[in-house]
Structure 1
Amino acid sequence: MRRNSFASPRRRRSPLPMVLVILLVVLVGGAFWLSTLDTEVPTGRIEQDVTNAVGAR
């Protein structure tokens, strides 16, 4: 059986598309994880002197 001399030999596929897909999945997963973090700070009482020091002279 003769092989066709015009047929191209099988070439390895580039890993670039798979790397880009994995990177995209990691970025989307990271964004989702960051959006679920509880970052709300509980409220606290702040007492501050509000007298007008300039007008008191």
Structure 2
Amino acid sequence: MRRTMLTPMPRRRRSPLPAILILLLALIIGAAIWASTVDTEVPTQRIEQDVTNEALAK
């Protein structure tokens, strides 16, 4: 059978693996950028503690 302009060519199904890998890579890079910009610094607090020697106090 000869192929004419009106008969559609059968399409080969492409693997979704490259698209999934690119999407996964983009998500990992986005998560790394987001994690590097999040403010995680804890404010400092002043802690006062009595450090006198109990043995000398008696």
For structure 1, which runs of at least 5 residues remain unmatched after alignment?
4-8
Q: CA RMSD in A?
A: 2.1
For structure 2, which runs of at least 5 residues remain unmatched after alignment?
4-9
Identity %: 70
Structure 1 stretches of 4+ moved >3 Å: none
TM-score with structure 2 setting the length: 0.69
TM-score with structure 1 setting the length: 0.70
Aligned length: 50
- 1:3-29, CA deviations, whole angstroms, 9 ceiling, x for partnerless residues? 5xxxxx642110000000000000100
From the two aligned structures, give the one with the greater helix fraction.
Answer: 2
